[in-house]
Amino acid sequence: MDSLLCNSIFDQSINDYHKTDSVDAPLKNPHPNGSIESLLYRKNWIDTVQWHLEDIIRRPDLETQAFIATKRRIDLSNQDRTDTVEVLDDRLIEMLSGSTPKEGARMNTETPAWVLDRLSILALKLYHMREQTERPEAAEDHKIKCGQKLAILEEQRADLSRSFDELLEDIRAGIRFTKVYRQMKMYNDSSLNPQLYSGSQKSKTS
């Protein structure tokens, strides 16, 4: 597994999404169930749907109920994204389990799956920035500016891809290691968010 494979799957997911360009389109994962490819495709599909939900929620004409419903979808998507990254980390750790850190090995603060999370978002930025350079009705100076930004994003993707590959190589060689800390988000947990457990307690006593 390397960044080339991951980026190609992210691009595939984005292109597949735009065949319908609908946040309600069902996920039709083309990769074998349980495979790392399937997990990567699902990760980017979550990001792609959320990208477009973030666009929708910024519409000034969005009615209040639609705004609330969209915000709640984004919240659920964020949790799904985090959960999927953690599953990816579990799979990557399993793949690298034969590696033992050497004495003096340096710790990497970012896990491999969170690097993949950034690559997934970069794939979306590249797609949509490229789209802006090709908008027929856009002014020429808009296209030029977007082309300049696109070049920076392409450089960023190349650098981050290289860093991901080097991180895996270093972990395999035992000169770097990483630890996985679960996100433990509190606001989605009814036992940890005061606005949720206080309301629940009030409803029980009333």
**CA neighbor of 105 nearest in space, from 54, 173, 47, 169:** 173
* Sign of the C-alpha dihedral computed for residues 15, 20, 24 and 26 taken in this order: negative
- What per-residue confidence (pLDDT) applies to 17? 98
Separation CA 4–CA 11 (nearest Å)? 11
Q: Is the pTM of this model over 0.85?
A: yes
**CA neighbor of 147 nearest in space, from 162, 129, 128, 174:** 129
Buried b (16+ CB within 10 A) or exposed e, 38-54: ebbbbbbbbbbbbbbbe
Mean pLDDT of 102-116: 93
- What per-residue confidence (pLDDT) applies to 75? 93
Strand ranges in 77-156 using DSSP code E only, listed in sequence order: 106-108
Confidence of residue 199 (pLDDT cuts 50, 70, 90): low
Report pLDDT digits (tens) over 40-98.
Answer: 999 999 999 999 999 999 999 999 999 999 999 999 999 999 999 999 999 998 988 88
Of residues 131 and 204, more confidently modeled: 131
E strand or H helix at 170, and its extent?
helix 140-173
pLDDT of residue 182 exceeding 80: no
Separation CA 57–CA 74 (nearest Å)? 9
Question: Residue 185 region, left (φ>0) first, then alpha (ψ -120 to 50), else beta?
Answer: beta
Report pLDDT digits (tens) over 12-24.
Answer: 999 999 999 999 9
Q: DSSP secondary-structure letter at 47?
A: H
